[in-house]
Amino acid sequence: MNKFGKIWVFASLFLTVTITLGQGRPGMDKIRSLKVAFITERVGLTSKEATMFWPVYNEHEEALGKIRRQERVEIRSKMGDFESLGEDEADKLLDQLIEMEKEKQELNTLFLSKIRGVISPKKTLLLIKAEDDFKKRLLKQIQQRRQGGG
């Protein structure tokens, strides 16, 4: 892809992601924008692939986000007061957590099935690697900032 093509892809993706995900926290918007650019570059999405890829990807991320928020509200918040939990309540929370993990797994499996129809299997594997690399890089930067090296 030539330089103009890459610029066009990044600009259109940035606008799409900004419009789609604009309801989040300001810092999260910046992270999302960086993630879009990172994934686009690492996976090597063409403009045609990107047009089909990002709606599927964003839908998946939104569905996972809902489950994660539900998990934080319904389970993790109650685990903060761990000492006051009775065995019955802990058992119910654990059942809820197991169900949410199953939902996340089902979403991930469905996503991989959908996305392989949009990009090649090799690019799908590159996507998984790119997401892992992005998370590692982000965590490393957060740790460096907390240690005053940022």
Segments forming the whole domain that contains residue 116: 3-146
- How many domains does one find in the chain? 1
Compute the distance between CA of residue 49 and CA of residue 66 in angstroms, rounded to an integer: 26
In this structure, the number of other CB atoms found within 10 A of the CB of residue 85 comes to 14
Per-residue pLDDT of the chain (150 residues; tens, 9 = 90+): 555 455 444 444 444 444 444 445 678 888 999 999 999 999 999 999 999 999 999 999 999 999 999 998 888 777 777 788 889 988 998 999 999 999 999 999 999 999 999 999 999 999 999 999 999 999 998 888 888 865
Compute the distance between CA of residue 75 and CA of residue 70 in angstroms, rounded to an integer: 8
Compute the distance between CA of residue 70 and CA of residue 32 in angstroms, rounded to an integer: 20
pLDDT digits (tens, 9 = 90+) for 65-101: 999 999 988 887 777 777 888 899 889 989 999 999 9
Angle, CA of 21, 49 and 46, to the nearest 5°: 105
